[in-house]
Structure 1
C-alpha cells in the first residue's frame, strides 16, 4: 500500500515549500519559487482500449510535469510545480 500523500491547493505551494520533510522551516530559502531553476519532465499515461482481445490497441497521451530545483542552507531540493506554473495572475 502506498504511503499517505498530503495534498493542498497550488496557491499554498510557495508557503508550503518553506517547510522541510521533517517539518522544520527551511533556512536560506524564503519561498520564492520563481527564483529556482525550472525543469520539465514528460511522462505518458497509457490505456489498453479492449484488454480482453488479442487485437487490443494501447494508446498513450503525454503528460507534462514541471519542477523547481531550489537551494536552501542544507543544499538542493525539488518541488513539483505543475499546477502552480499553470495558475494565472499570481
Structure 2
C-alpha cells in the first residue's frame, strides 16, 4: 500500500503560549509524526499573522485548511492526518 505525500501541518503560535504547548504535546501523543511535516510559525514575526491570530492561537492548519483551533485531542489529530495520507 503506497502512502500519499506527507500532510503539511502548520502550527500558528507564539512564545509563552501554554495552549500552544498543550497542542504540540497532543500531536506528539498521537504517534503519527511520520505522516506529516510540521512547520511552526511565530505570529509575532509577521504583522498580518499577528493581526489575524492575536487572540486565536493556537491554530493548526493541515494542507492549507484550518483543522484545529485552541485545542485538539491526539486521536482526532491522528485520524485527520491518517485519512489524508492513507489511500
- How does the TM-score come out when normalised to structure 1? 0.26
Larger Rg: 1
Bigger helix fraction = 2
Bigger strand fraction = 1
